[in-house]
Structure formats: C-alpha cells, structure tokens
Structure 1
Amino acid sequence: MGLQGQRVVVVGGTSGIGLAVAEGAAREGADVVVASRRQENVDAALKVLPEGAWGRVLDATDEEAVRGFFAAVGGYDHLVFTAGDALLLATVAETSVEAARRFLDTRLFGAYTVVKQGVGSIRPGGSVVLTTGTAGQRPLPGSSVASALCGAMESLTRALAVELAPVRVNVVSPGVVRTDLWRTLPEAAREELYRSSAESLPVGRMGEPADVAEAYLYLMRGGYSTGSVVVVDGGGTLV
C-alpha cells in the first residue's frame, strides 16, 4: 500500500500542490520526477526535494516534447498532473475567447496530452491522478471558464478510468488553497479571500498544499479506487 521503491512523475510538481505531492511521495520512499515549464522552478524544486529526485522543463501542450519526456523517464508507477497557470477569474464579458482557450489548453488539453503519451510507460498496478476544483460544483461570478474546466476534468477522469483499465485514473478537487494560483488577485483582495474563506469553512482555517497532497498520495496507494473525484475543501461545498 505504500510508495516505497515506486516511481512517481508529477507534471506541475515544482510549486504549490504539485510540489507538496512530490515531497510527500519522496518521504514515503518514492523516486520522484518533476516537470514544469520554467527552468528556475525546476531548479528551486530540486533544492528542496531529496537527493535522487530529478526534474525537467516541459510544456505539457507540446506533444512532441511530452513524448520525449516520457521516453527519458522510462517505466514508472504513478502519474500526477497538477500543471496550470494562474486562475482565470473574470466575467464572460471581460474574457476573450483566446484567453479562455489558452487557459483550457494547459489544464485540459495539457492533461490529455500527458496522459496520452505517458500511460504506456505505467507499470502494472500504477495510476493516474488528475486535478480539478470545486468551482465545478459551486461556481462563483467570474469563474465560468474555471467551472467549465472542472466539469470537463471530472468527465475525462471517468472516461479514462474505463478506457485505460486496469490503470487506475482518479481526480482530486481542491477548494480554496493558499497557493500561487491566486497571484493574479491584488494582494489585499487575496488576503481578504483567505480570511473570509477561513472564517466560513467548517474546519476553521485555510487549506495548505500539504493538506491536499494527502489525497493524491491516498489515490496512488489505494488499489481499489478508480474513476473517483476526491474533494478536499475544508467543507467549503457544504456552506
């Protein structure tokens, strides 16, 4: 049930939730590979991950680059996808179609490309864990594109769980978590979001990347879970 001696690939694993997943897997004895679009992010992640971890620059929307990446990785056990730029938070009137497509390109088609090119190298008993969000269940004003993404990721997960069996495919749905994804908000607005979220949540505090990482680790270990959406939101969808 543990990850000792297994190989875990985290695309988007150089910051936020992805880095927390990589750190958690490494603590359990996994051999960790991380990938990100920016070399400086890869370098920074490798400074905090244990010796033996390795990373590479990767644009998940570039299929040839993704194919080459998995050729270099070779056989492995678990694929985690957490890659994505800052959240697109704007009304339909304020959002260009081009901006919406760019947002979906990385998070939806990037995930699709990574799974397509990477699944063939997953060893027996392995898994894929994708990322969605609670905006699909509780959309807010200005979250139309993000909400559409969340719905698409949940449906994609279920379809892949059937198509790629016996490889297990699951998805984690975080609520508001203290990560760089909110960096497009002005600092005052961001801190107010964190404060109001903490006050409204049943758990009484903000979520941290390590809180959400536990769900990814569980889904990698749990050999009887597939097609599942695991919500980690401090009870946010209840209030």
Structure 2
Amino acid sequence: MTIASRNLQHQHVVLLGGTSGIGLATAEAALAAGASVSVVSSRSERVAGAVARLGDRVKGYTVDLSNESAVRTLFGQVGAFDHLVYSAGDSLRTGTLADMDFATVRQIFEVRVFGAIAAVKHAAPYLRAGGSVVLTSGIASVRPQKGWAALASVCSAMEGLTRALAVELAPVRVNLVSPGLVRTPLWDDLPEFEREALYASSGAALPVGRVGEAEDLAQTYVYLMTNRYATGQTVIVDGGGVLV
C-alpha cells in the first residue's frame, strides 16, 4: 500500500449526491484513499443501497437538499469533517428556449445552484483546518449546444460561485469539477437503445474515443481534495470534448 493510495487517511468526506453515478464513484475512491464517508441523498432507497454497497466506514443520510433547514440540521448531525463534495442533481435535459418548462428550470437551479450554496453555507462552520469543498458543473458553459440554455446558465453560475467562495472561505479550498458526457444514471430516462447510441456516437467524436465513466471523474474529485495548492479552479474532464 503506497502513501499516495491513502492520502485521505483519517479524514471524513461528506458527499451530497453521493449515492449514484459520479458521487457514488467518488465515495468509493475516497474510501480507497483511506477516508470515512457520509453519503447524502433525497431518496432513502438510494441511501440504503449506497451504505450497503460501501461498507462499514460509511454513514447515510436522507435529506431534501432543496430545504435549507434540513441541510442545516444535516451538518449539525454530521459534526466536524474535512471535505465537502456536492454532485447532487437529476436529469439535465431541458429542451430549447421555445419549449422550456420554467418549473423544470427552477428545480434544476434549486438543487444544483441554490442547494450547493446552502450546503456550503451550513457546512463551512464544521470544516476542519486544511479542508476543502468540491462542487460540480458541466461543459455546457463553455461548449453549449442547442437546447442547453438552462444548463449553460447553471454551469456558469457554478463557476462564478466557486471563484467567489474560494476567496470568501479561504483558507478553505473551493474547486469545481466540470464533466463532459459520462455514463451515469442521469441518462437512464432515455430508452436504452437511444442512450447507447448517444454514448457510441459521442464517444467516437472525442479525442479519447469514448465517453467518460464515473470512475474517471472520481479521480478528479479526490485530486482536488488532496492538492493543497489548488483553489478557485474549474477542472474540465471531458475526454477532450471542448477541443472538437
């Protein structure tokens, strides 16, 4: 066992959205690096499944992340910890401006932006010295496509929030991971044949020749938790998608 493989030894990581997809993979990576982990989701069945899968160094909490009071209570229950990871959010498909459902757009902002703000606000008093926050965005802000107006707005908001929080919360480090297309349950609302066709065509167009896996992104979250000189940064992990 190398030192590098245990660089979160004796540290506690709290993952909001840590029960599926990128969040779950990050929880697994943090455990492999020696951390203890708390996973949080609004869906009790996902929390139970993640805890059963991840093992005895894991606690699970079911919390409505759009409810600030519930988020405040959560961190009071968790107590002191070292790293906050926020990757919560449901499906990202919102449609064109003409067809945009504003209730859907508001809900996306509620969880992905306002939920992140509430989480950091109420987590900050409990973060230990040397701690960090890692938030989540996406490449829609830098490479938008038709129908991505809402997504681009959310991603841009998260980039600005990250830089502002890195200044305001210093010396706590605050960074952002910006994934490209990743094979996760976020796409499960597509029919399987359509989903697999999307992965195949999108992957073939990328310099790396494939779409991302959750484990690819998990490595980035762990890197940002452990690199003590990185703050205010947006790290794009997209297989080179912004280049083509």
TM over 0.5: yes
Distance apart, 1:121 and its partner CA: 0.2
- Structure-2 residue corresponding to 1:228: 233
Asked if 1:36 is matched to 2:41, the reply is yes
Deviation sequence 1:108-137 (CA, Å, 0-9, x none): 000011001111100000000000000111
Pick the aligned partner of 2:31 from 26, 35, 52.
Answer: 26
- Structure-2 residue corresponding to 1:66: 71
- Equivalent residue letter for 1:213: A
Pick the aligned partner of 1:119 from 116, 124, 142.
Answer: 124
Deviation sequence 1:21-54 (CA, Å, 0-9, x none): 0000001110100000011000110111131211
Asked if 1:53 is matched to 2:55, the reply is no
Tell me, which stretches of 5 or more residues in structure 2 are unaligned? none
SS where residue 59 of structure 1 aligns? coil
SS where residue 212 of structure 2 aligns? coil
Pick the aligned partner of 2:184 from 160, 179, 185.
Answer: 179
- Equivalent residue letter for 2:231: T
Asked if 1:78 is matched to 2:83, the reply is yes
TM-score (norm 2): 0.96
**C-alpha root-mean-square deviation of aligned residues, in Å?**
1.0
Distance apart, 1:184 and its partner CA: 3.0
* Distance in 2 (alpha carbons) for counterparts of 1:181 and 1:95: 19
Tell me, which stretches of 5 or more residues in structure 1 are unaligned? none
Residues 220-229 or 193-202, more deviating: 193-202
Distance apart, 1:224 and its partner CA: 0.2
Percent of paired sites with the same residue: 53
* Distance in 2 (alpha carbons) for counterparts of 1:134 and 1:127: 22
Pick the aligned partner of 1:202 from 201, 207, 227.
Answer: 207
- Structure-2 residue corresponding to 1:143: 148
- Structure-2 residue corresponding to 1:133: 138
- Structure-1 residue corresponding to 2:160: 155
- Equivalent residue letter for 1:43: A
- Equivalent residue letter for 1:31: S
Distance apart, 1:89 and its partner CA: 3.1
SS where residue 39 of structure 2 aligns? strand
* Distance in 2 (alpha carbons) for counterparts of 1:96 and 1:199: 32
SS where residue 14 of structure 2 aligns? strand
Asked if 1:98 is matched to 2:76, the reply is no
- Equivalent residue letter for 1:165: A
SS where residue 22 of structure 1 aligns? helix
* Distance in 1 (alpha carbons) for counterparts of 2:157 and 2:14: 23
The answer on whether the counterparts of 2:92 and 2:151 sit within 8 Å (CA) in structure 1 is yes
- Equivalent residue letter for 2:152: S
Q: Would you say how many aligned residue pairs link Structure 1 and Structure 2?
A: 239
